[in-house]
A and B are shown apart, each in its own frame.
Chain A
């Protein structure tokens, strides 16, 4: 998700928030939840997944602020 203007479009914010508030489905083992989170969110290109350095590099290049979400999955 690129933060690109002072007023963020509502749809963009909602999508972003749903993605990081959600911590996977019910009825899964802890290991499955962690793997699923990685599969879902690492692949969609929205996040620098567990890669702060890449996020910082991109923020520097694009002169954008960085939003770092720390989320306990299990």
Chain B
């Protein structure tokens, strides 16, 4: 049975928990709403780069096997089940209360739609509004499998196309061609299942992984280094747009080249981030109104010069600073140093 949902309005948040930065996500369910598997992965700006028809077909075939074995296999699916949500549907979230439960097909239908990324935007907004430190899980959601060294063949169900050097997967002696069977005692039928399980981890330092190697099942452990979740780049995510509003008043930042560092005499361990986009409207324009322009190079944020990426600045701003606080931003225009002051949101 196939269901197509094209909006998040009235979406059951106690069931449909997934990476809300996706534009294409699949849930395979039993009629009792037990989650068999998820499909749909995105790790960059190109929304379709990480999915393939062959991979989806492989997951679909696995789902049919899971369904045939259900409910005897229920315990192996426990780790895939959604958690209790504070809100039943997205329009219950304070930031989304203006939306209705149905789309306005007769009027401005696209504007009546709650887009998936708006769910996470609203969750972050709620946290930010309270002034509480934003949790890592909300700031760095659904870490891609490469953060633990697993690179999947997107045309397969869960076969490894590569194991990244120096990673937890490499240390666990996993190999290219291994098929991931389970992670943390939960069977996996797709890379999205792996992302779900990684997302749910809190402070665990290790997780069991079972792989199929030439028909033999091998059990080993991924040892997770401190801060592994934060290694994921989140700048591609649509939800980073709102994060930039909160953290820098609308700046999109990229590290400058080595040649530019050399030319400007900035050491490798010092901040040097070029403003590649500066928000121009509303609350996304606070940095612009403070004087920062596209092309300026940020060299200090709130006195910190060791925040080397946009991720690190955003993390610092929403975890260490509160809305309403002022921060000073030092930047270079040409070779001249300037200072701007913005009030955080």
Contact with B along A33-74 (1 / 0, CB 8 A): 111011001000011111110111011101111111111111
Asked if B26 contacts A70 (CB within 8 A), the reply is yes
Which of A41, A56, A65 lies in contact with B4, CB distance below 8 A?
A41
Known: A3-B64, A6-B68, A72-B23. A56 touches B33 (CB 8 A): yes
A8 touches B60 (CB 8 A): yes
Neighbouring A residues of B25 by C-beta, 8 Å? 69-70
Q: How many residues of B contact A (CB 8 A)?
A: 45
Q: A59-B1, A68-B3, A69-B26 are in contact. List 12 more A-B contacts (CB 8 A).
A: A3-B64, A13-B57, A34-B6, A47-B3, A49-B4, A58-B1, A62-B1, A64-B67, A68-B26, A69-B5, A70-B25, A71-B6
State A59–B268 Cα separation when bound (angstroms).
Answer: 58
Q: Are B60 and A21 in contact, with the CB atoms below 8 A?
A: no
Residues of A within 8 A of B (CB): 1-3, 5-8, 13-14, 16-17, 20-21, 29-31, 33-35, 37-38, 41, 46-52, 54-56, 58-60, 62-74
Query: Do A48 and B1 touch across chains, with their CB atoms under 8 A apart?
Result: yes
Stretch at the interface among B107-115, B212-220, B289-297: B107-115
The distance in angstroms between the C-alpha atoms of A7 and B65, with both chains bound, is 9
Closest A-chain residue to B65, C-beta based? A6
- Number of inter-chain CB pairs below 8 Å: 152
B61 touches A70 (CB 8 A): no
9 A–B contacts, CB within 8 A, in A order: A20-B4, A38-B6, A41-B4, A50-B5, A50-B6, A59-B30, A66-B2, A66-B28, A69-B3
CA distance A34 to B122 in the complex (A): 23
Task: Tell me which residues across on chain A come within 8 A of B40, comparing CB atoms.
Answer: 70
A65-B36, A68-B26 known; A3-B110 Cβ under 8 A:
no
Interface: B63 (CB within 8 A): yes
B24 & A46 in contact (Cβ 8 Å cutoff): no
Do B109 and A16 have beta carbons less than 8 Å apart? no
CB distance from B31 to the nearest CB of A (A): 4
- Closest A residue, CB atoms, query B51: A21
Residues from chain B with Cβ under 8 Å of A17 in the complex: 53, 56-57
Pick the most buried of A51, A60, A68: most chain B CB atoms within 10 A of its CB: A68
Could you tell me which residues of chain B, from 26 to 44, have a CB within 8 Å of some CB in chain A? 26-31, 33, 36, 40
Q: Which of B23, B68, B110 has the most CB of A within 10 A?
A: B110
Choose one: B23, B29, B53; the contact of A71 (CB below 8 Å).
B23
Q: B225 CB to closest chain A CB, in angstroms?
A: 33
Say whether A6 contacts B12, CB under 8 Å: no
* Given known A-B contacts A13-B57, A17-B56, A34 and B103 have beta carbons under 8 A apart: yes
Contacts of A74 in B (CB 8 A): 110, 113
B113-133 Cβ-contact flags toward A at 8 Å (1 or 0): 101100000000000000000
Closest CB in chain A relative to B90 CB, distance in Å: 12
Distance in Å: Cβ of B293 to nearest Cβ of chain A? 31
When distances are taken between beta carbons in the complex, the residues of chain B under 8 Å from A6 are 61, 64-65, 68
Residues of A within 8 A of B23 (CB): 71-72
Instruction: Report the minimum CB–CB distance from A31 to chain B (whole Å).
Output: 5
Contact residues, B1-15 vs A (CB, 8 A): 1-8, 11-12
